[in-house]
Amino acid sequence: MKKLLLVKCAPEIFLKGLNKGKFERKLKNNIKNVFKDTDYSFVVDQGRWFIECDDLKRGIKRLKNVCGISEICVVDEVDSNMESIESQALENSMENEGKTFKVVTKRANKKFPQTSMDVSREVGAYILQNTHGLSVDVRKPDFFVNIEIRDKTYVYSRRIKGIGGMPYGTNGSTMLLLSGGIDSPVAGYMMARRGVRLNYVYFHSHPYTSERAKEKVKELAGVLKKYTGSVNLYVVPFTKIQMGIIENCREDELTIIMRRFMMRVACDLAARYGIDSVTTGESIGQVASQTMESLVVSNDAADRPVFRPLIAMDKVDIMDVARKIGTYEISILPYEDCCTIFVPKHPKIKPRLEEIKKAESVLDIDALVGEAIENTEFFN
């Protein structure tokens, strides 16, 4: 008898028609990548994917971060005969804490003498005869005993929910504006989970923001690496732009003008490195720079699509996701970011595009953006 992990793809992948193969290949490669430093084998049996590895617990942990997997099942492989199937099914039931069960059989191997219904019935009866206190519930059982009859037979009850979504790398790329806050890492996670390749841009205002603030952003990108496999972080020196705005513009317009600069730099970097879009952690109404009017004005400075996956989420729900993905504890560390240092006392809540454009026209926008990009540092 062998223990294996059965990997189930998110059902959405099966809706891809002719493109299904492309998504499956990507997912397979991503799975192979997370196991590449271990001894493992990847077995495909009639469309089912199995992983054999020496440390199942670690294997599950790795697979739980692979986007596009809906479920991971711990499977016992036995010979395809009733005796072996029954004894394994009994063992699985006794390991389970539930009181009611249902046997579900799939028979891909049509040479097997009994029908799936017969197998389920016989195995169910065998479990009942050999245990105390268990009963069958076909509607809402505490646990399932799944049996898949192929060349070999796979018996499993333990099912672990996967991350879902789409295979990483199948849906284009984005430049995430990554601050040290709670929101932007969550926005990145949500895009990565849908298969969008992530790159990051952080605006650093040395010496007003410390080295430690930059390290914090690197650390956040490092946590997201468990979903993306890499860190592609661009650190943009932002002080000169901010000083230019502070010296030349009205205090209540600082934030919105600064956000327009962030958009321009992010878009130009994206263009330079072949990245399709930009993503932020903005959520409607959260702060002055995230009112509908402010978003319209900052969006105007972008020349490619800007995605805001958190736009309709409440802060408490964003925080829950941050805890789940492991970024929360880092995000709440109290290092200042460039926005917290240059916050006006009364920022404009309803900026008007024409006014803002006029206000910023005193700056040499192209030169400031160009210089920031020339001095951008890249970390991998």
Q: To 5 degrees, how large is the angle CA 20–CA 44–CA 154?
A: 120
> Which runs of E-coded beta strand occur in the chain?
2-9, 40-45, 48-53, 69-78, 100-107, 135-136, 143-149, 153-164, 173-177, 197-204, 233-237, 277-279, 306-307, 377-379
Nearer to ligand ATP, 145 or 318 (CB): 318
The answer to whether 96 touches 157, Cβ cutoff 8 Å, is: yes
Determine, following the binding rule CB under 6 A, whether residue 281 of this chain makes contact with ligand ATP.
Answer: yes
Contacts of ligand ATP in 305-344 (CB under 6 A): 337-339
Task: Find the shortest distance in angstroms from Cβ 8 to ligand ATP.
Answer: 33
Sign of CA dihedral 11, 17, 21, 25: negative
Angle, nearest 10°, between helix axes 183-193 and 315-325?
70
Closest to 196 in 3D by CA, of 259, 270, 97, 133: 270
CA–CA distance, 298 with 308 (Å, rounded to integer): 13
273 marked as part of a ligand binding site: no
* Least distance CB 335 / ligand ATP (angstroms): 11
Report, in Å, the least distance between residue 205 CB and ligand ATP: 8
Residue 320 CB: number of other CB atoms within 10 A? Answer: 14
Q: How far is the CB of 281 from Mg ion (least distance, A)?
A: 7
Q: Closest CB to ligand ATP among 160 and 287? A: 287
Which residues have C-beta within 8 Å of that of residue 136, sequence separation ≥ 6? Answer: 100, 101, 102, 103, 124, 128
Q: Which region, judged by CB under 6 A, interacts with ligand ATP, from 38-46, 48-56, 99-107, 174-182?
A: 174-182
Answer yes or no: is 177 a known binding residue: yes
Among 68, 167, 181, 244, binds Mg ion (CB under 5 A): 181
Cα–Cα distance, 317 to 319 (Å, whole number): 5
**What tokens does 258 get?**
């600064």
Tell me whether residue 126 is annotated as binding: no
Among 171, 289, 294, 376, binds ligand ATP (CB under 6 A): 289
Task: Name which of 126 and 203 has its Cβ closer to ligand ATP.
Answer: 203
- Residue among 379, 29, 67 at smallest CA distance from 227: 67
Q: How many residues bind ligand ATP (CB under 6 A)?
A: 19
In the list 153, 179, 255, 294, the residue contacting Mg ion (rule: CB under 5 A) is 179
281 is in an annotated binding site: yes
290 assigned binding-site residue: yes
- Select 183 or 268, whichever has its Cβ closest to ligand ATP: 183
Judged by beta carbon distances under 5 to 8 A according to partner kind, the member of ligand ATP, Mg ion, none in contact with residue 287 is ligand ATP
**CA triple 279-284-286, angle to 5 deg:** 105
Binding site feature residues for ATP: 177-178, 202-203, 259, 281, 290
| List of residues contacting Mg ion (CB under 5 A) | 179, 181
Binding site feature residues: 177-178, 202-203, 259, 281, 290
| List of residues contacting ligand ATP (CB under 6 A) | 177-179, 181-184, 201-203, 280-282, 286-287, 289, 337-339
